[in-house]
Structure 1
Amino acid sequence: MFRLVNSFLPNTIRMKQVLVYKGLGMYEKDTAIIERVMNEHVNCDLYKVDTVSPTEIIRGRLSEGTALLAIGGGYDLGLIEALGVEGMANIKEYVSAGGSYLGICAGAYFACDSIEFDRGGPLEVVGERSLKFCSGVGIGPLFKPYDYKSRKGASAVNIDFLLDKTVKSNGLFKGQKDQIESQNAQKESQISVNGMESGKKTSKESQFRESLVSNTMSSSLNTKVYFNGGCYFKMDEERSSDETTVLSRYLDLPDSSAAIVWCQVQAGIAVLSGAHLEYDSEDIDDGDEDVLDIIPVLRETSKDRRSVIKSLLQQLNITVK
């Protein structure tokens, strides 16, 4: 009925879809949580929040006015099985043509060049992936061993997060492009002295760009978020310097590995998070002794996490409330 009525509306006021994956590879509870979070944060005058099945993705639903596809926690081998070659190709085509993708935990592993989950352990899953939105490897689990049947591997982890509303197409935040281009020009002769060919990406140039980004960011916050089985992102520096911006790092790890990354995918955008930003305290407050100590932490940091979610949605070109 909605489609029939909506089809008579002018293109300028048709509601776009914010779609949450529902099917094999993503836990039903995670689908429900992300669907709720989207309804809480996106401008519902502009978007209709709905779920999308693997079959619908295979049949081309993403091409029907989709503003965002979100895939959350579960297991990425299930996603691969359910979507198959055609479904994954449709997701890749949708994002490359200008769409937006949010991957959390399994949805983040799924969108990397390759993954290393529990390498050498009983749950090992290692291999290349098809989407390749992030030029690097998703490596996990972190902090604790993962258990598919319980929350024994869950924790509340410290992250920092860079807040801003808009990311430009080259991976730099709004207001940074001119400054960085100017300072890059000033450094050009210095770079040449180091023996680098013109236009060639190196680790030193990547570090220089990253230092500029961190120095020009408008604001940041430190907070704690729910974590269970997720990854950090080990980037291919030569390939990712122009395409990827690290939005958040794990402060509890010695090398402060990347926790959330923003990726330019041709005309589209992907944001990948190893941590569960969407989880609130009530989502785990069900008497489970494994997470009793996490509940008050999530309750205390709820406001900060909501700020992070809003910022991520804006960086995915979604208008929030």
Structure 2
Amino acid sequence: MTNNSLTIWIYADEGTSELSVKSALVTMKNKLPIGLANSVQTISSQDIINNKLSGLNGIGILVMPGGADLPYCQKLNGLGNAIIREFISKGNIYIGICAGGYYGARDIEFIGRSYENGNSEKYEINGPRELAFFSGTAIGSIAKLTNGRLYDETATSKALVTLDYENAEQDKVYYHGGAYFVGDKDVEFKVVATYSDGKNAVVSGNFGKGKYLLSGVHFELCADVYESYAVESANESDMEKEQTLLSAVSHKDYGALVYQEISGMIEASYKSA
């Protein structure tokens, strides 16, 4: 194996957020302290089923971005998820962000709110997930982070939240509908960061010879992409919040603490390969 060979796949298919996908394509290459990856590219459900993940010379990372996880299930349940599990178990890495974080847990419990024809209605998405890298439950959305507002597609349910890390480090990151993670008793995993109430915001662990990281927040965001997808289309009432979020995402160290964790996972994978 070539020691510095690294391929990063960003899942882009039905259900994925263009904001998350396009941001990850930039920041997964530019913010990993280990240096540039050999390849950062998108991958579809059909690509996965056609075994595009196989035959890598080095370490591979599969990034499951934000969006909605039910379409992920529809496209990947069965063969697709079996291929992903095998890929990770052989020594590669899964990064799940927001919806991708839910998708990497064994069970999810999600409550959101939809608006149709002027009416507001709660909806729930509950049940098992096949990847099950994290032996526990991903629970959201977290209304206490958004002034009591359950997840919806508006800026009202977005927030800038403070995460607490080891060694008393903190940073502020974008939250929009993500989970907190509750592990089963006696299950080993690492708490990378917590929300201000102590609940697990980012967790990581081992799966076979591979590793996973699940995040309830969007550490991957790219300022240029966020500006074009969110700020430029914001209505007047949302503009102040969107500008505040953009300012945070634009900071040179935005997401750096999570990217440091991913870098460490990659380095450990090289050593054990």
Same fold (TM over 0.5): yes
Calculate the TM-score normalised by the size of structure 2: 0.82
Task: Give how far 1:318 is off.
Answer: 5.8
Go from structure 1 to structure 2 and tell me whether the alpha carbon gap of 1:92 and 1:68 turns closer, same or farther (over 3 Å shift): same
Matches within 5 A, 1:250-269: 250-251=195-196, 253=197, 256-269=198-211
Calculate the TM-score normalised by the size of structure 1: 0.70
SS of aligned partner of 2:84? helix
User: Is the counterpart of residue 285 in structure 1 residue 231 in structure 2?
Assistant: yes
- Among 80, 85, 97, the alignment partner of 2:78 is 85
Go from structure 1 to structure 2 and tell me whether the alpha carbon gap of 1:291 and 1:124 turns closer, same or farther (over 3 Å shift): farther
Matches within 5 A, 1:18-29: 18-29=8-19
Partner of 1:246: 191
- Among 5, 8, 12, the alignment partner of 2:2 is 12
Go from structure 1 to structure 2 and tell me whether the alpha carbon gap of 1:94 and 1:293 turns closer, same or farther (over 3 Å shift): same
- Among 208, 212, 232, the alignment partner of 1:270 is 212
- Among 178, 184, 189, the alignment partner of 1:230 is 178
Separation of aligned partners in 1, 2:135 and 2:12? 26
Separation of aligned partners in 2, 1:290 and 1:236? 39
Partner of 1:311: 260
CA contact 2:163–2:193 (8 Å) conserved in 1:
yes
Amino acid at match of 1:93: E
Partner of 2:271: none
Go from structure 1 to structure 2 and tell me whether the alpha carbon gap of 1:41 and 1:280 turns closer, same or farther (over 3 Å shift): closer
Matches within 5 A, 1:84-163: 84-118=77-111, 122-143=122-143, 144-148=149-153, 150-162=154-166
- Residue range with higher mean Cα deviation, 298-307 or 67-76: 298-307
CA contact 1:154–1:291 (8 Å) conserved in 2:
no
Amino acid at match of 1:90: I
After superposition, what is the alpha-carbon deviation per residue over 1:50-84, rounded to whole angstroms, capped at 9, x for unaligned? 11011010111112315100011111101011123
CA contact 2:8–2:37 (8 Å) conserved in 1:
no
What's the RMSD between the two structures over aligned residues? Answer: 2.4
CA contact 2:112–2:151 (8 Å) conserved in 1:
no
Amino acid at match of 2:179: C
CA contact 1:155–1:294 (8 Å) conserved in 2:
no
After superposition, what is the alpha-carbon deviation per residue over 1:164-183, rounded to whole angstroms, capped at 9, x for unaligned? xxxxxxxxxxxxxxxxxxxx
Go from structure 1 to structure 2 and tell me whether the alpha carbon gap of 1:38 and 1:119 turns closer, same or farther (over 3 Å shift): closer
Separation of aligned partners in 2, 1:14 and 1:56? 24
Separation of aligned partners in 1, 2:7 and 2:222? 24
Task: Give how far 1:269 is off.
Answer: 0.4
SS of aligned partner of 1:61? coil
How many pairs are equivalent? 246
Separation of aligned partners in 1, 2:165 and 2:239? 24
Go from structure 1 to structure 2 and tell me whether the alpha carbon gap of 1:94 and 1:50 turns closer, same or farther (over 3 Å shift): same
Task: Give how far 1:281 is off.
Answer: 4.8
CA contact 1:103–1:272 (8 Å) conserved in 2:
yes
CA contact 1:262–1:269 (8 Å) conserved in 2:
yes
Amino acid at match of 1:147: D
Go from structure 1 to structure 2 and tell me whether the alpha carbon gap of 1:318 and 1:298 turns closer, same or farther (over 3 Å shift): farther
Partner of 2:118: none
Q: Which has the larger radius of gyration?
A: 1
CA contact 1:156–1:298 (8 Å) conserved in 2:
no
CA contact 2:28–2:220 (8 Å) conserved in 1:
no
Task: Give how far 1:105 is off.
Answer: 0.3
Task: Give how far 1:97 is off.
Answer: 1.3
